[in-house]
Structure 1
Amino acid sequence: MDIARPELKQRKRRRQLTLSAVVVGLVAAAGIGLAKLGPALPSVERSSVLIDTVKRGELLREVRGPGTLVPKEIRWIAAETAARVERIVVKPGAAVEPDTVILELSNPELEEQLLAAKAAVTAAESDLAAKRTDLKSKLLDEQSALAAATSDYETARMQAEAEKSVAEKGVIPAVQYKKSLVTLEQLKTRMTIEQQRVTEFGHNIAAQLAAEQARLNQLVGTRELRQRQVDALHLRAGIAGVLQQVPLEEGQQVAAGTNLARVARPGELMAELRIAETQAKDVTLDQPVRVDTRNGIVEGRVLRVDPAVQNGSVQVDVELTGKLPPGARPDLSVDGTIEIERLPDVLYVGRPAFGQPDSEVRLFRLDPADGVAARVPVRLGKSSVNQIEVSQGLAVGDRVVLSDTSAYDQYDRIRLK
């Protein structure tokens, strides 16, 4: 018969309870451990990001901008009058001299105006000559009247002197002598008046001739203007250089003031750079510049800074002091680097993405021990083209990620692998 053993059942029950408690404890410990670990760190390929090391030393501040080579001397030749393009004599790209004819223009009305101006000058010259002859003749008449008055006065004076002595001796009546004195005084007054008339007539002659001469000069000026306008129908270069543009077609009608051709001196070039308005505030005159022509570096200096901003950039004119390489020509695209200043003994690092001067950013600083990069606040100072000053937040030797990490904004740490 079977014998009941209740102690065995109790022992088995205790083992099951102990095992269950152990399993529950292990599960709870594992859960607490996983909770402490937090979420898994995102992994980033090390080769896909740019990493730089913080250094201490001299920081050369520079700004860079694209630009073009342009001639220092450019001459736009404009139409002096309305005209029609008859013939394009020289094509763009050709070398020209000051008297080289570029265009042949025509304006029949202008040629008629020149003929009329020449005729008016000829008529005015004849009028002036006739006026001068007429006035000269009238002056001679006045001078003749003065001579007659002077002669009468001298005769009366001699007669009065002769009668004085005989009147004193009683040979002639005293009244006759007094009458001679009255006549002498009248003739003297007449002679004085004639002298004044000659003088005033001389002034009148000068005034009339000056008026006629002024009219003649005006007509001569008009004739010369018309002659210059007619001569300008043979459009000349004006300077020695290269013809760059002739934006016209034969048979085209042009208005006065229209730009007809552009001539430049190709041997004297300068660079026009476009610097971002945020960086142009530190650009001043005479700062050194390096201009990259893709065929060599040319030294230069800042010649002018445009006070206006256009399309987010400021134009900076650069005078080239170095020798231009072969192949340099107008409108060649170049890159210019302007040296702003040198900052001695500062912390600096490569310029991070979206890192602006005098701003605060959060960069990932790499721990070389475990390859984990933690985000730290960094205060930036003055900037250069590819480098920027570190004011706070980093130390010499720190390695930071410079690439755009906006995809990991929700993480404070990333793992580089």
Structure 2
Amino acid sequence: MDQALDPVFLQRRRRIRLLAGALLFAGLLGTGWGVNRVLRPSVDAADIVVSTVRRGDVAQTVNAAGVVIPVHEEVVASPGASRVAKVHAKPGQQVAQGELLLELDDRDIRLALESLQEQLAQQENRIATLAVELEQKHKQLTSSIELLELDLLSARARHERNQKLRQSGLVSGEDLLAADLNVKRNEIQLRQQREQIVDNRRATAGSVAAARLQKDILNKQIAQQERLLAQTRVRAPFAGMLTTLVQEEGASVGAGQLLARVSELNNYRVEATLSDFHARLLAPGQQVHVEQNGERMAGRVHTILPEIQNGTVKLLVDLAQPHNPLLRNKMRVDVNIVTAQRKNVLVLDAGAAFNGSGRQDAFLVADGVARKATLELGGGDGKLIEVVAGARAGERVIVSDTRAYAQQDSLRISD
């Protein structure tokens, strides 16, 4: 017959069943946790940057590459074909106004100057000779006129006497006519001599004027050669930094070739270059943020250069602090040109997770999990970016680089 089981045995078997069930449940939980670890990757909180969506003001900017340049810079060019005779300075040194930088060979200029000075002396001698000749001719003609005047007086007196004698019948008509003709001949000769004086004066004056004109031309040529001679001693046009200088003595230089460049010290502006796609957004007077090594400097667009080269447009930016000690000539900087301002809008800190404006995927963080969402982003200023749609104020978004998780829909955030 059947015998009743021991209660102790039944209790032990019940405990074994409960323990097996608990172990099975724990195994299922562990398996689920492992599958979750495989299917949902995690990221350390220290490896990401999270920003909170909030209300704020943001500027819409266009980014450009900039180079620091001096506000005032002057180039000294060669006055003509020559060679470098002697160098007195080095690039990079500070120079005073008028300081001698280098000397050019001036022998050809000196020879040309001496030749012009000789020609000038010849012209001066010619003018003096013409004046002497005019004086001599004037004296000769004056003497001839005086003699003709005497002959005329004598002829008139003879004519008057013959007229009186004719009335008495003592002189023939032929003698009277001869006397009359002699008077007229002397008058004509006297008039011709006087006209010759005027003609000689005019001719000599024309020759003198031509000689003086040639003299003036030679004086101008001499002045030009003297300027060229002075330019062979290349001097600093103003006090500043000598940034460029031909340094090789004996080197040949052509007319107009760059010899030296002097830049004003501690007074800079920025030359920015950007795609001509943004040219329609640019205007003089726009605010500009210039950044270098985390330092931000304010400025404004001064000039937009009209020429477009290789699909780029250039503009000049005046800085609010052109004497900033951080600035150096030819330093590369980042330039953000403010094209519009947005007030009291949803903003996020800018980061590598975003690329410009428009619809973009992002990860919203909540309860230790980052879930993918689509944001509509607007313009930004490099520091902040506008959130047009896809997130609300107070939500947190990963703004650091998330390209490694682009294929995931969610991420676990581990401490």
Normalised by the length of structure 1, the TM-score is 0.70
Once the two structures are TM-superposed, the CA of residue 113 in structure 1 deviates from its matched residue by 3.2
Matches of 1:181 and 1:314 in 2, distance apart? Answer: 97
Following superposition, the deviation at residue 69 of structure 1 comes to: 3.5
Query: Which residue identity lines up with residue 362 of structure 2 in the other structure?
Result: F
TM-superposed CA distance for 1:213, in Å, is 1.9
Would the alpha carbon gap of residues 164 and 86 (structure 1) be closer, same or farther in structure 2, given more than 3 Å must change? Answer: same
| Equivalent residues of 2:336, 2:381 under 8 A apart | no
What is the alpha-carbon distance in structure 2 between the residues aligned to residue 164 and residue 291 of structure 1? 115
**Quick check: 1:368 aligned with 2:372?**
no
Deviations 1:68-98 (A, max 9, x none): 4332222222222333333222233444344
Report the 3-state secondary structure (helix = DSSP H, G, I; strand = E; otherwise coil) of the residue aligned with 1:221.
Answer: helix
Q: CA deviation at 1:244?
A: 2.6
Partner of 2:105: 106
Which aligned pairs between 1:17-416 and structure 2 lie closer than 5 A? 40-65=39-64, 67-142=66-141, 193-275=192-274, 281-291=280-290, 299-308=298-307, 314-322=313-321, 324-326=323-325, 328-351=327-350, 353=353, 355-357=355-357, 360-364=358-362, 366=364, 368=366, 371-376=369-374, 378-411=375-408, 413-416=409-412
Tell me, yes or no, if the aligned pair for 1:117 and 1:226 is still in contact at 8 Å: no
Tell me the distance in 1 between the aligned counterparts of 2:234 and 2:262.
12
Distance 1:354 1:151 in 2: 117
Give the letter for the 1:118 counterpart: Q
Quick one: structure 1 residues 301 and 380, their matched pair in 2 at CA, closer, same or farther if it must change by over 3 Å? Answer: same
Give the Å deviation of 1:212: 1.5
- Paired with 2:110 and 2:248, the residues of 1 have a C-alpha distance of 23
In the alignment, residue 239 of structure 1 is paired with which amino acid? F
Equivalent residue letter for 1:88 = V
- The one-letter code of the counterpart of 2:366 is P
Structure 1 pair 410–229 and aligned structure 2 pair: CA distance change class (3 A): same
Kindly, what percent of the aligned residue pairs are identical? 24
Q: Which amino acid aligns with 2:111?
A: E
CA separation in 1, counterparts of 2:297 and 2:381? 20
Change (3 A) 1:132 1:55: farther
Cα distance change, pair 381–191 in 1 and its aligned pair in 2 (3 A) = farther
Closer, same or farther in 2 for the Cα pair 1:171/1:78, shift >3 Å? same
Change (3 A) 1:367 1:269: closer
Closer, same or farther in 2 for the Cα pair 1:327/1:50, shift >3 Å? closer
The question of whether the paired residues in 1 share the 8 Å contact of 2:365 and 2:398 is answered with: no
Change in Cα spacing, 1:328 to 1:224, as seen in structure 2 (3 Å) is same
How far apart are the structure 1 equivalents of 2:383 and 2:361?
16
> CA 1:362–1:253 in 2, change beyond 3 Å: closer, same or farther?
closer
Aligned-partner residue type, residue 366 of structure 1 = L
Corresponding residue SS for 1:203: helix
Distance 1:367 1:107, change over 3 A: closer
Cα distance in 2 for residues equivalent to 1:400 and 1:208 = 95
Partner AA of 2:132 in structure 1: T
Q: Partner letter of residue 373 of structure 1?
A: R
Query: Alpha carbons of 1:136 and 1:300: their partners in 2 closer, same or farther (altered >3 Å)?
Result: farther
* Mapped contact 1:363–1:400 kept (Cα < 8 A): no
TM-superposed CA distance for 1:142, in Å, is 4.6
Q: CA deviation at 1:313?
A: 5.4
Code of the aligned partner of 2:384: Q
Aligned residues: 374
The alignment partner of 2:218 has SS state of: helix
Measured in 1, the distance between the counterparts of 2:237 and 2:362 equals 64
CA distance in 2, matches of 1:327, 1:309: 30
**Are the counterparts in 1 of residues 359 and 376 from structure 2 also a CA contact under 8 Å?**
yes
TM-score (norm 2): 0.70
Q: What is the alpha-carbon root mean square deviation over aligned residues?
A: 4.2
Kept in 1: contact 2:291–2:297 (CA 8 A): yes
How far apart are residue 165 of structure 1 and its match? Answer: 11
Distance in 1 (alpha carbons) for counterparts of 2:152 and 2:382: 103
Q: Distance in 2 between matches of 1:158 and 1:238?
A: 83
1:197-225 deviations in Å (ceiling 9; x for gaps): 44443332232112212223333333333
For 1:11-63, what per-residue CA distance to the aligned partner results, in whole angstroms no more than 9, with x for missing partners?
xxxxxxxxxxxxxxxxxxxxxxxxxx9x9455444544444344444322344
> Hey, what does 1:18 align to over in structure 2?
none
d(CA) in 1 for partners of 2:220, 2:372: 84
Aligned twin of 2:30 = none
Alpha-carbon deviation of 1:102?
1.6
Shift of residue 146, structure 1, vs aligned partner: 5.7
Native 8 Å contact 1:245 1:261 kept in 2 = yes
Contact 1:163 1:177 in 2 (8 A): no
Q: Which amino acid aligns with 1:269?
A: Y
* Rounded Cα–Cα distance in structure 1 between residues aligned with 2:218 and 2:328: 47
Shift of 1:182: 6.6
Shift in CA distance, 97/351, structure 1 to aligned 2, threshold 3 Å: closer
